[in-house]
């Protein structure tokens, strides 16, 4: 388990509908070179190009040389090639929970409120370090011909201090407040979903209550990604997410510093519709 001297909140994602990722079926392509390096370090031109190991081979990465014979004749120049890939999983008729954010609140005094400091994680979870909450909706209601709607809730677990693999719960209630943020279709601020923001929510640690964070009605958005971003670069706190630390969490009798972390369970639930288009 990853520990930190700072106070962090981690994330755990759950979804009403789950999409299983499919491994792409691709034929591996190798890099090629127009020259090879000899045992004595000299270089010899090769024609046609020769296949070399992958440029990412951790033991023996390939050297793709675009050979220049020094003749000044452009037509005599050699080439080097390498291949990468573009990939995507295309969905249709599905609603998916793609990304959930980690919240890092740095160092906080007992009995104080602190802004989001970064999006680091203190535990191994589903959270991302960009502060992104993302849903993708590819459903269309066959009757209304519009998107069908959905909601996302969050539940804050108990804050624990972990030492020697033993979890000790913190005393008092931590409050995680999320302000409304503009919903977008990408991480570019200009790609806004007009009139749509996330929902203000205050999560209480260990209360076992789902709090609505995103709630979109049918037809109020288009198919594709819906993003709420709660991000803070290190050194640039963000008040869109704030943590209130109870005074009881500190040690009143002696100086102390303890790291606490709590899971957040995010739940995506579709709004029911009579039939998905194409189903």
pTM across the whole model? 0.81
**Position 246 pLDDT exceeds 50:** yes
Mean per-residue pLDDT over the chain, rounded: 88
Q: Per residue in 79-134, pLDDT tens?
A: 999 999 898 899 999 999 999 999 999 999 999 999 999 999 888 899 999 999 99
Q: How far apart are CA 19 and CA 106, in angstroms?
A: 34
Q: Per residue in 169-222, pLDDT tens?
A: 999 999 999 999 999 999 998 999 999 999 999 999 999 999 999 999 999 999
DSSP secondary structure string, 204-226? ETT----EEEEEEETTSS-SEEE
Q: Per the structure block, which two tokens stand in for 45?
A: 């031109």
Radius of gyration of the chain from Cα atoms?
26
pLDDT, residue 124, reads 85
Question: Can you give the length of the chain in residues?
Answer: 279
Q: Which helix (H) or strand (E) holds 112?
A: none
Strands in 84-142 per DSSP E: 95-101, 103-104, 113-116, 127-128, 132-137
Q: Which residues of 65-100 are buried (b: 16+ CB within 10 A; e: fewer)?
A: bebeeeeeeeeeebebeeeeeeeeeeeeeebbbbbb
Q: What is the mean pLDDT of residues 155-176?
A: 92
């Amino acid at each position: 388990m990853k520990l930190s001297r700072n106070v962090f909140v981690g994330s755990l994602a759950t979804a009403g509908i789950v999409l299983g990722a499919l491994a792409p079926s691709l034929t591996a392509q190798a890099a090629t070179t127009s020259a090879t390096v000899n045992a004595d370090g000299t270089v010899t031109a090769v024609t046609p190009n020769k296949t070399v190991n992958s440029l990412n081979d951790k033991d023996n990465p390939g050297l793709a040389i675009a050979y220049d014979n020094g003749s000044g004749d452009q037509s005599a120049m050699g080439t080097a090639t390498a291949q990468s890939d573009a990939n995507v999983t295309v969905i249709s008729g599905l609603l998916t929970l793609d990304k959930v954010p980690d919240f890092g609140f740095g160092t906080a005094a007992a009995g104080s409120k602190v802004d989001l400091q970064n999006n680091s994680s203190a535990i191994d979870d589903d959270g991302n370090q960009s502060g992104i909450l993302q849903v993708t909706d590819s459903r269309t209601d066959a009757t209304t011909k519009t998107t069908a709607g959905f909601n996302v809730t969050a539940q804050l677990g108990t804050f624990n201090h972990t030492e020697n693999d033993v979890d000790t719960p913190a005393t008092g209630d931590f409050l995680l407040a999320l302000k409304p943020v503009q919903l977008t279709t990408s991480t570019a601020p200009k790609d806004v979903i007009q009139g749509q923001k996330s929902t203000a929510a205050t999560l209480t640690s260990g209360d076992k209550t789902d709090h609505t964070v995103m709630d979109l009605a049918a037809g109020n958005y288009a198919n594709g990604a819906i993003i709420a971003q709660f991000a803070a670069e290190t050194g640039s706190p963000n008040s869109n997410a704030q943590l209130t630390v109870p005074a009881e969490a500190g040690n009143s009798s002696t100086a102390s510093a303890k790291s606490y972390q709590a899971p957040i369970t995010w739940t995506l639930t579709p709004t029911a519709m009579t039939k998905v288009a194409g189903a």
